[in-house]
Structure 1
Amino acid sequence: MIFLIFLGEHRDKKKEVDPVFMLDFISSIEDPRIDRTKKHSLETIMIIAICAVICGAKSWNEIEVYGTLKLEFLSKFLNLENGVPSHDTFRRFL
């Protein structure tokens, strides 16, 4: 699986990115939330949102619906023991 994304100075060019690289990159982002308030990891929130938008989601509700519909698949790669983040979680975090 390869994602096509826009990166930094290459905004005008599509660049192929390995999903493992993408997850490593997202993991390197500092999470600004207080530890005790974290029900979902930053990686979980970002990966679901990115995948949902790539698949056409245009709202926080649509991102949540995407996560719910793809729960079984996403659970293979992400820790979803607390379920899919709510649309409010996506809105607050992103």
Structure 2
Amino acid sequence: MRELIESHFSSWEDPRSSRNPRHPFMTLIATSLLAVLCGIDSFSGMQDFVEMHREALKKYFDFPSGVPSHDTYQRLWNNLCPI
């Protein structure tokens, strides 16, 4: 699963500062995608989704700083898709 997601999204540039990223870019993209596919429609829902499924998700994705917060998801997507 991880390889499929990474191969598809590898051309996306990480808009975050390289100074101190706490969460891997692909982990944020993949968990966002999985949450949306499961019907989640909010950033706080993405955080809740990862918290509920963390044990299963950590088999495929890295969480070196724990579960990303809803603010982390929101900042990422606001930078990827500014309105």
**Secondary structure in structure 2 of the residue aligned to 1:85:** coil
Aligned pairs for 1:16-35 (under 5 A) are 20-35=3-18
- Report the TM-score, using the length of structure 1 for normalisation: 0.74
Partners of 1:45 and 1:62 in 2: CA distance? 13
Residue in structure 1 matched with residue 64 of structure 2 by the alignment: 81
In structure 1, the gaps of 5 or more residues are: 1-17
From the CA coordinates, give the structure whose radius of gyration is larger: 1
Output the CA distance in 2 between the equivalents of 1:36 and 1:19: 25
Give the Å deviation of 1:51.
Answer: 0.3
Does 54-63 or 25-34 show the bigger shift?
A: 25-34
Larger % of strand: which?
1
Identity percentage of aligned residues? 32
CA deviation map 1:43-63 (0-9, x unaligned): 011111100010010111101
Q: TM-score, normalised by structure 2?
A: 0.83
- Name the stretch that deviates more: 33-42 or 62-71: 33-42
Higher share of residues assigned helix = 2
Q: Distance in 2 between matches of 1:44 and 1:93?
A: 12
Q: Gapped runs of 5+ residues in structure 2?
A: 78-83
Question: 1:42 corresponds to which residue?
Answer: 25
SS in 2 for 1:92: helix
